[in-house]
Amino acid sequence: MFPYLKFLSNYWQKERGKIALIFVLVVLSQSFSLTEPYFFAKIIDNFLRNAQNLSLFPTEAVFFKGLSLLVLGWIGVAFAARTFKNFQSYLVETVADRVGIRVFEQAYKHLLALPMAFHSRQKSGEVFRKLSKARDDITSLFSIFYDKIFQNIFTISVILIIVLIKSWRIGIPLFGFVPVFFFITWFFTKKIKKTQLEINKINEGIFGSSFEAVSHVELVKSFSTEKAEEEKFRHDNALSHKILKKKTFAFQSLGFAQGTVVNLARVVLLWYGTLLAFQGQLSFGDVILFNFYSFYIYQPLYELGGIYTKYHEGIAAVDRLDEVLREPVSIKDKPGAIKVEKLQGKLEFKDVSFAYEPGGRQILKNISFVLEPGRKLALVGISGSGKSTIVKLLFRFYEPVSGEIFIDNRPIEDYDSQSLRKRLGLVLQDTVLFNTSIADNIRYGTFEASDEKVKSAAKKSSLQNFISKLSEGIKTVVGERGLKVSGGEKQRIAIARSIIKEPDILVFDEATSALDSHTEEEIRKNITEVSAGITSVVVAHRFATVVDADEIILLKDGEIFERGNHQQLILQKGEYARIYNLQTQRQHAEEELAGERV
């Protein structure tokens, strides 16, 4: 348990004052609570046993007064115990929730800071399942520790002191069954821990798979794989339920064994206490008092057993969260990194090589080029040639294995990465839209932008005709992942999102490859217009979209195979010219076929 608590201690430091108050409230509430049975014992010894003793109570008024004082004292003590307990529980729950939120926020912050290499190999659903499960378990364990463990340890310690003062012999049956109780708890919770680990793992897989299926529901529907996804979901849930039955059986067995031990302990306690009373070593009230105290001992032991079980249920989730937190943030800004306000826009790659895995296949090999401010560079080549990887390195999603990247004649690692990315605009092939309004999607990353700036960016990206046809205009919600808008409209929103940033370098990564030729031409004109006078990098699969670039680099197997402008490359009659001619012929054939169909 202590490694878990050490993990928690990193997050509850800010709550030290409230935690100290919780300790005080526990001591007060339990002290008053343990006093309650004392009043009951006194009523038995002083009043029930002597109800007819006229020498002690010559009149009914004397009896009534003494009994009433004890009862009023009892009521006052009980009221104080419950008052302090309520304040204790309130503080514990609120502090526990704050600690859980702090853990979740720290984990989420770390998750966003992790490199793309981590995100590319993880399922988002599984990762968030780890985070949410760990938050719930940490919140629960914090509550249990302060509201149960410390409270129960304090209670048992006080009862032990009372036993030693009154009669150590009564402690034999009172505490003698505790080791047996702990052994039974330990034996069964071993089994429970094992099954819970299996359940956690399966549930994380279920959450991850179902999250992916719902996230890609368009693909699921288009391939009619709903039944396959349902069957997989049903199979995994059935497996989880099967293991849950084993865990439930172990839980029930644990409860039965614990109950048997506790009942036996109380019977022996009553028998032995009565024997001690016969011998004159305890009063009748003391026997009742210690029988009351047996509830104070064994009820906490029940809870401690549950806590032990809960710990083993949660530790797996926390360990797996810790795996995420231990993931190194490999791309860090160095001390004194430059905060970027404005860039001239000069870009240089110098002998850059890159592989996604250490010792793995090189995606880029000794890439070198210089892009002057205000100029346009096109990166072309077949899929897998390394075009998009250059973009990822420019945005510092990854670090080069060797070589350097310069912006405005400074190594890219000299800049603060977040401020640098704010000066870069990016339009991807697969545009990501959030399930919010068109306006909010355009101003994403530039949240303070006014509606006027949003409308201006929409106009520059040729969105005004589309928006004018919508009943709610720019406030129209685009739907989950932009399902309510077409591919061309998505790209225009993405272009507007980059325009509103007023970037110094604009990057278009296969921004038109998923579109039909007509829409592609419209978007290409958009790109040409918005990137005029701005340093821009265009990654393209279709060569016809980059004929106006100042320089075109043809990549092949991660290397620069050919370079020059469109006219130069056509005159070389090399690979670029061959692919360009093939694509042009194919496009003409498709247009002729489309014309015949019309």
pLDDT tens digit at each of 598 positions of the chain: 455 556 666 677 778 888 889 889 988 988 888 888 787 777 777 777 776 676 777 777 888 888 888 889 889 988 998 999 899 888 888 888 888 788 788 778 877 777 666 666 666 666 776 777 777 777 777 777 777 777 878 888 887 787 777 777 777 777 777 788 778 777 777 777 677 667 767 776 676 667 666 666 655 665 566 777 778 778 777 877 777 777 777 777 777 887 788 778 777 777 877 777 777 777 777 777 777 777 777 777 776 656 766 666 666 667 767 777 777 676 788 888 999 889 999 999 999 999 988 778 899 999 999 999 999 999 998 888 889 899 989 988 888 999 999 999 999 999 998 889 889 988 887 777 877 888 888 888 788 888 888 888 888 888 888 888 888 888 888 765 455 677 778 888 888 888 888 889 999 887 666 566 666 677 677 777 777 888 999 998 888 888 889 999 999 999 999 999 999 999 999 999 999 999 888 877 766 665 555 4
Asked if residues 530 and 506 have their Cβ atoms less than 8 Å apart, the reply is yes
Q: What is the DSSP letter of 337?
A: P
DSSP string of 83-108, one letter each residue? HHHHHHHHHHHHHHHHHHHHHHHHHH
For 249, counting Cβ atoms within 10 Å of its Cβ (0-12 exposed, 13-18 middle, 19+ buried), the class is middle
Residue type, 509: D
Sign of CA dihedral 217, 221, 223, 227: positive
Half-sphere exposure of 295 (CA within 13 A, CB side): 8
Least Cα distance to 145 among 286, 23, 287 occurs for: 23
What's the CA gap between 543 and 513, in Å, rounded?
Answer: 10
For 492, counting Cβ atoms within 10 Å of its Cβ (0-12 exposed, 13-18 middle, 19+ buried), the class is buried
Tell me the Cα Rg of the chain: 36
pLDDT value for 123 = 62
How far, CA to CA in Å, does 352 sit from each of 259, 295, 343, 347, 407? 70, 72, 22, 13, 14
Least Cα distance to 455 among 473, 471, 478 occurs for: 473
Asked if residues 554 and 569 have their Cβ atoms less than 8 Å apart, the reply is yes
Cα 379 to chain centroid, rounded: 37
The label of the residue with tokens 């009351």 reads 292
Half-sphere exposure of 261 (CA within 13 A, CB side): 23
How far, CA to CA in Å, does 261 sit from each of 148, 159, 183, 446? 21, 20, 11, 65
Asked if residues 442 and 499 have their Cβ atoms less than 8 Å apart, the reply is no
Angle 454-371-378 from CA coordinates, rounded to 5°? 70
For 326, counting Cβ atoms within 10 Å of its Cβ (0-12 exposed, 13-18 middle, 19+ buried), the class is exposed
Query: Which residue ranges make up each domain of the chain?
Result: 2-326, 340-423+535-598
Cα 380 to chain centroid, rounded: 38
Q: What is the DSSP letter of 543?
A: G
- Cβ-proximal residues to 526 (8 Å cutoff; 6+ apart), any chain: 461, 462, 492, 495
How far, CA to CA in Å, does 53 sit from each of 16, 59, 60, 287? 55, 10, 11, 22
Asked if residues 310 and 370 have their Cβ atoms less than 8 Å apart, the reply is no
Give φ, ψ of 10 to 5 degrees.
Answer: -65, -20
pLDDT value for 598 = 47
CATH code, 340-423+535-598: 3.40.50.300
Sign of CA dihedral 384, 353, 430, 379: negative
Least Cα distance to 178 among 156, 193, 155 occurs for: 156
* Residues paired with 508 in a beta bridge: 427, 538
Q: Which fold has domain 2-326?
A: ABC transporter transmembrane region fold (1.20.1560)
